[in-house]
Structure 1
Amino acid sequence: MSNELRPYVPTHPGNVLKDELQARGISQKRFAEIISISYTMLNEIINGKRPVSAEMALILEAALGINASLWNNMQSRYNLEMARRNKDNTSKLETIKRLCSLMAL
């Protein structure tokens, strides 16, 4: 096994939700029914295809007792990391940094 550092892989809050439901023995279908959303929407959140909105964070807080701020913070960190990894953003940000450093001279 290598001692190389592996790059940070952001965790979508849906992964945490999936683990939480499994730990509580609640199926995705049943949980979707309880919180009055479609199974498809819940499954997309769990699979990282849909973000956890502020409203959904409040629903998860009410249903699971896990603070809405935690869900929002996880989503925000995930979004920032994914934006940092976006090659279009990286190029644009490097250009902005270069241009702004020239202004400081």
Structure 2
Amino acid sequence: MLQQYEKYRGIHPGIVLGRELKKRSIKQRPFALSLAEHPQTFNAITKGKRGISTALALKIERKLGLEEGTLVILQAYYDIQKIKEKEIKSTPDLHILSKALFWDTDIKYIDWERQYRAVIQRVFERGNENDKNEIIRFYGTEKVNQALQESNIRNPYTIYRFNKTTG
């Protein structure tokens, strides 16, 4: 991939393509039609709402004289970035949670969504304020409150304190 496109890693390739067309003063609609592509589809790509297929990427690269594979590689980097963002959102910040909370479990294998009741229960029984705040941030006040009320924690002080600090 060309060095000039290295800075676009993680950005949707359609956005980069739109900038390139603008820089070259090429109108999207005529360009899309010259590729035998629907202008609406092409517009969705340049707005970052739709991915670029390998076949279309090759057509665009040939037409614009770009290095072969540039847009495909940008699409791959974008897809990787999206997966990483999703993974980050799918777990609480493990640097904040006390390691002692999950001493008996490999934390990498916790299904944070399926096992949320057990996680919340454990953190509110054994965790410190930072642990609790991170779990509240991750799951949200409503879900934590619901899980605490449904759980075997019948310590009214914990639930009362939680309700006082969040609501």
Instruction: Give the TM-score normalised by structure 2.
Output: 0.47
Amino acid at match of 1:98: K
Larger radius of gyration: 2
Q: What are structure 2's unaligned runs of at least 5 residues?
A: 1-8, 95-105, 110-167
RMSD: 2.3
CA distance in 2, matches of 1:32, 1:97: 49
Stretches of 4+ moved more than 3 A in 1? Answer: 87-91
Q: Distance in 2 between matches of 1:65 and 1:49?
A: 24
Change in Cα spacing, 1:87 to 1:21, as seen in structure 2 (3 Å) is same
Aligned-pair distance for 1:27? 0.6
| 2:40 aligned residue | 40
Give the structure 2 partner of residue 12 of structure 1: 12
Aligned length: 88
How far apart in 2 are the matches of 1:97 and 1:47?
38
Query: 1:14-56 deviations in whole A, cap 9, x for unaligned?
Result: 1111111111111111111111101101001101111111101
State the structure with bigger RCO (CA 8 A, min sep 6), 1 or 2. 1
Q: What is the CA–CA distance in structure 2 between the aligned matches of 1:65 and 1:79, rounded to whole Å?
A: 24
| Cα distance between partner residues in 2 of 1:98 and 1:50 | 32
Work out whether residues 12 and 75 of structure 2, in 8 Å CA contact, stay in contact via their aligned partners in 1.
Answer: yes
Q: Which amino acid aligns with 2:70?
A: L
Which ranges of structure 1 fall in alignment gaps of 5 or more residues?
1-8, 100-105
Contact 1:83 1:89 in 2 (8 A): no
Percent of residue pairs bearing the same amino acid type: 28
Q: Which amino acid aligns with 2:48?
A: G
What's the TM-score once normalised by structure 1's chain length?
Answer: 0.73
> Is 2:108 aligned against 1:98?
yes
Q: 1: distance between equivalents of 2:58 and 2:31?
A: 15
